[in-house]
Amino acid sequence: MNSFWSILSLSIYTAIFSTLLILPFSIAAAWLLARKKFVGKSFLEATIQLPLILPPVVTGYFLLFVLGPKGTIGQYFNAIHIQIAFTWFATVLASAVVSLPLVVRTIRVAISSVDPRLEETARTLGASEWHIFRSITLPLAYQGVIAGSILAFARSLGEFGATIVFAGNIPNQSQTIPLAIFQYINQPGGIEKAQPLVIAAILFSYLSMFISEWALRKVDHVEH
Partner 1 sequence: MLNIDIQKRRGNFTVRIQHVFSNSCVGIVGPSGSGKSTLLHIIAGLISPDEGSIQLQKKILFDSKTHITPQQRHIGYVRQEPLLFPHMSVLQNLLFAQKNTQNNSPLWSLSKVIEMFSLHSIQDRIPSSLSGGEKQKVALARAIIASPQLLLLDEPMASLDDSTADTFLEHLITIKAYIPMLYVSHNTQRIRYLCDNILYMNNGILVPSSEKKI
* Closest to 2 (Cα-Cα) out of 171, 189, 190: 171
State the amino acid at position 36 in one-letter form: K
What residues between 91 and 120 interact with partner 1 by CB under 8 A? 115, 117-118, 120
Q: What is the largest CA-CA distance in the chain?
A: 69
Alpha carbons 201 and 205: distance in angstroms, whole number: 6
Range in contact with partner 1 (rule: CB under 8 A) among 14-22, 62-70, 134-142, 201-209: 134-142
Distance of closest approach, residue 131 Cβ to partner 1, in angstroms = 7
- Strand ranges, E, within the chain: none
Nearer to partner 1, 115 or 213 (CB): 115
- Dihedral of the alpha carbons of 165, 170, 174, 175, in degrees to the nearest 10: 100
Binding to partner 1 by CB under 8 A, coded x per residue (else -) over 135-154, reads xx--xx--------------
Out of 41, 70, 123, 217, the only residue in the binding site for partner 1 (CB under 8 A) is: 123
- By the 10 Å C-beta count (0-12 exposed, 13-18 middle, 19+ buried), 80 is classed as exposed
Out of 2, 42, 124, 186, the only residue in the binding site for partner 1 (CB under 8 A) is: 124
What is the size of the binding site for partner 1 (CB under 8 A)?
Answer: 20
Out of 20, 52, 57, 127, the only residue in the binding site for partner 1 (CB under 8 A) is: 127
Sign of CA dihedral 33, 36, 37, 43: negative
Out of 24, 40, 126, 188, the only residue in the binding site for partner 1 (CB under 8 A) is: 126
Query: Which residues make up the interface to partner 1 (CB under 8 A)?
Result: 115, 117-118, 120-128, 131, 135-136, 139-140, 222-224
